[in-house]
Structure 1
Amino acid sequence: MGVAKLIFGLRTCQPSYVGAAVTLFDEGLRQAIDDIVVGGGPFFGDLQWRLASLPIKEGGLGLLSAGDVSSFAFVASRVQSLELQDHILRACCMGDLDSDFRAALDGLQAVLPDVDLGGFANKSTAPREPQTILASAFYGKTVKEINGVFGLSPRQKAVFDCLRAPHAQDFLTVIPIEGLGQCMSAVEYRSVLKYRLMIPLYPEDEPCPVCRKVCLDSFGEHALHCKELPGFKYRHDLVRDVLFDVLKRAGIAAKKEAPVNFLTDPKEGRSSLRPADVLVFGWSGGKHACIDLTGVSPLAGFRGSGFVSGQATQKAEAGKISKHEQACIDNQHAFLPFAFDTFGCLAPVASGFLKRVQKAALAHATVSVGHSYVFSRVGFAIQKGVAAQLVARLPTHDL
């Protein structure tokens, strides 16, 4: 699904020749995404379409618009093959081809006025990876202009920042495998997409059907930090179980829910003793590492100003360190807080831990695995836990 079906045509035809086809394709793509996300219902507007058609690394769903790609694909293809064209067509008159290229280059310059395209027309000065350079410039400009084009509210700005945080979109690259738990129901997946695309999930001013203490906000923030349902613990336990499975498959010795007899809240003493979520044997200088998972909602208590993406996970990480690290050190253990938020952003310690696990997984694998395999699995587990919390509070007619 997406522009991949048209990419050859976009790279070999001058943009002005494919305008009608591009428009028709994008209309069909937008309708398909609309059907998947809201089932033909309301709230899938221009902002949602813009977000869905951004690259994954820019916070989108990676379902690229043909109109966007056509802006730079032809120029990139021509630049990339300048030397080959010169070799094949050196004895031919290339005036018509050059006029097509010049027209496309001028059109692209109008779209990207701040990018110097002067060297793109000469094979001796043309960049080696024009597609990457032009796509980065185009989508970078698009991202910068989103606020001005759509007039984002403070909450929408915060959500967009969260979507662009490192690893927030990793779940989109996972391969559906039921045996690994890498699958969701249609209702779950739709709920996650609505949450991320800023589409209302609940009626306004409806009381939370679980805690009955406060009203649900329409975008689902209360649903994600309400602790009156096992779903809150389910998300934590699901991520823990997937992390343990990843460690096992990477050949890393670990134990789940391991009693260590010293993890406790310093304010409460031994009355609050708890096991390590995951104990990794010999992880740091021969010492066992206690991994303590914690999930947070970055928009809980959102005030509209001073929001910084990733700050919630870093704060949660620091809180865990101040609570448990010294006890682990005193007992000859390492302590690794594993903090993540509802969008999939990971705190620095968690990210560093998974990078090391990823290296071990690649070295241990008997078959080829992707370089983002570990992050994708953990990211999908986070979103599956989020989906469970959102779906638990949906009106019956939406299930």
Structure 2
Amino acid sequence: MVLQGIIVSDGPGFGDLQWRLATLPLRLSGLGIYCASDVSAFAFVASRFQTLELQNHILRSCGTVPMGEILSDATSALRLCLPDFDLDSLAVNATVPSKPQKVLAEAFYGKIVASLEREFEFSTRQKAVMGCLQSEHAKDFLLAISMEGLRQRLGNCDFEVGEAAKRAATGKMEKHEEACRANQHCFIPFSFDTFGFLEQQSVELLKRLQKVMDSNVMTAGFNEFVFRRIKLVIQKVLAAQLVARLS
């Protein structure tokens, strides 16, 4: 019921298919709301295999079998879920991947996605939406905005859409500013980044310009003159920095 309230705000359109899709990772057209039954199927095994070498070292002189009954049972259950996956390779120290949980998660959720069309009847539109959301570029947008499709939409919850993108943009702008300072360049706040944001200084300047224009009768020619002067200032600053670097 809680998940239904998040997805459709207690409205219609929430069934087994919507629940299954909501609990898939973002890159697989889901909402990244992981359920315990899915994660427990692979996370415990992955965490144990990731520290297997350390466990073997600690238990070497104790005569204790490192695998243990609990891990053995969990591994057997995971083999039933992933019969085509080579779990034995994870138990060998030399072949354990650096991120076994990521490897197992990709295999586990990949099998679920592959079985969706066998378990549910998709319309042509739903197949097209799923294909779009699974494309390489889609996961970045899914972190920032809600995308409707397959009768899913985010309900009225107390969170701000786009927070992930804002954090990424802020970090990127700070990184650019530090690089400019290290190279003795003047940081230009008008520079756009790949997230489409403007630095806060430029936003404040543009707001001030907007207030001036709103409070005065401005012609199109005057507006063009103002922004042409701003462009000229930016060019002059860049030119001065280049000359300083060459001298």
Q: Which range, TM-score by smaller chain? A: 0.5 to 0.7
Mean CA deviation greater in 133-142 or 115-124: 115-124
**Alignment partner of 1:87 is 2:40:** no
CA distance in 1, matches of 2:120, 2:17: 7
Q: Please tell me whether the aligned partners of residues 56 and 169 of structure 1 are also in contact (alpha carbons under 8 angstroms).
A: yes
Among candidates 364, 368, 373, match of residue 176 of structure 2: 364
Partner of 1:70: 40
Q: Please tell me whether the aligned partners of residues 75 and 104 of structure 1 are also in contact (alpha carbons under 8 angstroms).
A: yes
Partner of 2:151: 198
CA deviation after TM superposition for structure 1 residue 167, in Å: 2.3
CA distance in 1, matches of 2:7, 2:135: 22
Q: Please tell me whether the aligned partners of residues 55 and 63 of structure 1 are also in contact (alpha carbons under 8 angstroms).
A: yes
1:3-38 Cα deviation digits (max 9, x unpaired):
xxxxxxxxxxxxxxxxxxxxxxxxxxxx22311232
SS in 2 for 1:169: helix
RMSD of Structure 2 on Structure 1 (CA): 3.0
Partner of 1:328: none
Among candidates 105, 110, 118, match of residue 135 of structure 1: 105
In the TM superposition, 1:200-239 aligns within 5 A as none
In the TM superposition, 1:1-399 aligns within 5 A as 31-95=1-65, 98-174=68-144, 192=146, 195-199=148-152, 363-366=175-178, 374-375=194-195
The AA in structure 1 aligned to 2:194 is: V
CA deviation after TM superposition for structure 1 residue 55, in Å: 0.7
The AA in structure 2 aligned to 1:138 is: F
Q: Please tell me whether the aligned partners of residues 51 and 60 of structure 1 are also in contact (alpha carbons under 8 angstroms).
A: yes
Inter-CA distance 362–133: structure 2 relative to 1 (3 Å threshold): farther
CA distance in 1, matches of 2:87, 2:134: 28
CA deviation after TM superposition for structure 1 residue 66, in Å: 1.4
Aligned residues with identical type, % of pairs: 46
Partner of 2:189: none
CA deviation after TM superposition for structure 1 residue 154, in Å: 1.6
CA deviation after TM superposition for structure 1 residue 111, in Å: 0.3
- The structure in which a higher percent of residues are strand is 1
CA distance in 2, matches of 1:87, 1:96: 9
CA deviation after TM superposition for structure 1 residue 133, in Å: 1.0
Inter-CA distance 97–118: structure 2 relative to 1 (3 Å threshold): closer
Partner of 2:185: none
1:303-338 Cα deviation digits (max 9, x unpaired):
xxxxxxxxxxxxxxxxxxxxxxxxxxxxxxxxxxxx
Q: Please tell me whether the aligned partners of residues 80 and 130 of structure 1 are also in contact (alpha carbons under 8 angstroms).
A: yes
1:342-372 Cα deviation digits (max 9, x unpaired):
xxxxxxxxxxxxxxxx98x5751449xxxxx
CA distance in 2, matches of 1:166, 1:122: 32
Inter-CA distance 33–171: structure 2 relative to 1 (3 Å threshold): farther
CA deviation after TM superposition for structure 1 residue 122, in Å: 2.6
CA distance in 2, matches of 1:137, 1:60: 16
- The structure in which a higher percent of residues are helix is 2
CA deviation after TM superposition for structure 1 residue 125, in Å: 3.2
CA distance in 2, matches of 1:58, 1:107: 24
Aligned residues: 169
CA distance in 1, matches of 2:93, 2:117: 37
The AA in structure 2 aligned to 1:110 is: L
CA distance in 1, matches of 2:52, 2:119: 36
Structure 1 ranges of 4+ moved more than 3 A: 373-377
CA distance in 2, matches of 1:38, 1:153: 20
CA distance in 1, matches of 2:13, 2:126: 14
| Higher relative contact order structure (alpha carbons within 8 Å, sequence separation ≥ 6) | 2
Inter-CA distance 107–197: structure 2 relative to 1 (3 Å threshold): same
CA distance in 1, matches of 2:98, 2:176: 34
Q: Please tell me whether the aligned partners of residues 22 and 30 of structure 2 are also in contact (alpha carbons under 8 angstroms).
A: yes
Q: Please tell me whether the aligned partners of residues 54 and 61 of structure 1 are also in contact (alpha carbons under 8 angstroms).
A: yes
Inter-CA distance 111–165: structure 2 relative to 1 (3 Å threshold): same
Inter-CA distance 196–169: structure 2 relative to 1 (3 Å threshold): farther
CA deviation after TM superposition for structure 1 residue 375, in Å: 4.5
Inter-CA distance 106–158: structure 2 relative to 1 (3 Å threshold): same
CA deviation after TM superposition for structure 1 residue 138, in Å: 0.8
